[in-house]
Amino acid sequence: MLFCLTVLVGNDARAGWRAHALVVEGWGGALGKAQDQAFFRPFAASTGTGILRYVWDGGSLPAPAGRHAWALALVEDSTARIACMQGRLQRLGGSPGSADACGVPALHDGIALAWDRGRIPAAPHWSDFWNIVRYPGKRGLRKDPRSTLEIALMADGVAPSDVYTVLATPEGVDRAFHKLSQLRPYIVWWTSAAESARIIGDGSVLMTSAAGGEVAASASSGHRDVGLQWAQSLDDGLSWGVAPGLDSTVRDRARALLHYMSQPEQIARFAGLYHARPDDPSLQPMPMDAAFWQAHLPGLAKRFADWLATP
């Protein structure tokens, strides 16, 4: 977990305001900055509710306890479903046995192939990502089975529409890890969306899977010429999870912020700041299957960790 702190204060900047601030666990990078500008700062200014935004990497959901007890956390939909079923997020509706109402939708963040256009003029595909002979250099992948195993199968020739059917079988899992093993010596692992953009922007890798919005923001700031290949990209749903057991005052503040972020004006403002999907409507990223990962993440995460630990 990262503890990069952003402090946002409402109009009521009284002494001891931190004790009454709404604590939000968010992501860093361009996404966090866009949410600050579109949501948190104007909400704080209009309501007088101070907001503390901590940054975490989106891995294991931190427990809402101690000094950094959070009320809202930005999580992947698969994480939200698992945490909700374990009682670590507040169920917002639906039946007790369902994970379909365990978060408030926040955005869809595209995971695309980013590459150094100064070294590769034409847009590569995932099959090229594995072609070290033709395109020598390091490759970036997320240090998580989510998105990484899907990409490995697509690179091995599995059609996007068949990825989860294949990955649901032992043979498909073996196939994905065999494909990863072919690339192992060349992989640079990233653990956050912001890091995925950094490693391609600073030349640490020739190509990487990356959060499209983060790469687009880095490109606009005049860094290295980086392209985004949206063919066979992934669409990762993110939601706001609510901590269980909040007292009524904090719960009301959290609800007010969620309501504020859902208003068309705020949504439009955010969309103008963070471009997470392709501009071409014909290029539609493949939705990541949150229900699949809810069922299979524990087992595949262990297999992934064991694979990482094996020379």
pLDDT tens for 213-259 read 999 998 766 567 999 999 999 999 999 999 999 999 999 999 999 99
* Residue 11 clears pLDDT 50, i.e. is over it: no
Query: How many structural domains comprise the chain?
Result: 2
Q: What mean pLDDT comes out for the span 192-219? A: 94
User: How far apart are the C-alpha atoms of 294 and 208, rounded to whole Å?
Assistant: 25
Q: What is the pLDDT of residues 63-100, one digit of tens each?
A: 777 666 899 999 999 999 999 989 999 988 766 666 67
Same domain, 298 and 228: yes
What is the predicted pLDDT for the residue at 4? 44
Q: What is the mean pLDDT of residues 144-150?
A: 98
| CATH number, residue 302 | 3.40.190.10
Q: Are residues 43 and 152 in the same domain?
A: no
**Where does the pLDDT of residue 156 fall: very low under 50, low under 70, confident under 90, or very high at 90 and above?**
very high
Q: Are residues 103 and 113 in the same domain?
A: no
Q: Note whether 137 and 209 are same-domain residues.
A: yes
Alpha helices in the chain (DSSP H): 29-35, 41-47, 77-85, 126-129, 145-155, 163-167, 170-183, 193-201, 212-220, 248-261, 264-273, 290-309
| 118 and 101 inside one domain | no
Same domain for 126 and 82, yes or no, is: no
Return the pLDDT at 145.
98
Q: Does residue 165 sit in the same domain as residue 257?
A: no
Mean pLDDT within 141-154: 98
| Pair (102, 65) in one structural domain | yes
pLDDT in the model for residue 15: 45
Cβ contact 265:43 at 8 Å: no
Q: Which residues does 24 contact at the CB level (< 8 Å), separation at least 6?
A: 40, 51, 52, 53, 54, 70, 71, 72, 73, 74, 257
Helix (H, G, I), strand (E, B) or coil at 214: helix
Kindly state the percentage of the chain with pLDDT values over 90. Answer: 76
Residue 96 pLDDT: 64
Helix 145-155 with 170-183: angle, nearest 10 deg: 90
Q: Quick one: pLDDT band at residue 12, thresholds 50, 70, 90?
A: very low
Q: Do 107 and 276 touch, CB atoms closer than 8 A?
A: yes
Instruction: State which residues form the domain around 262.
Output: 5-107+238-273
Q: Which residue has the tokens 């809202």?
A: 72
| Domain match, 48 and 93 both | yes
* Judgement on whether residues 174 and 201 belong to the same structural domain of the protein: yes
Give mean pLDDT, residues 274-283: 87
Calpha distance 274→11 (Å, rounded): 26
Indicate whether 213 and 246 sit together in one domain.
no
* Contact residues for 264 (Cβ-Cβ < 8 A; gap 6+): none
**Whether residues 231 and 246 fall in one domain:** no
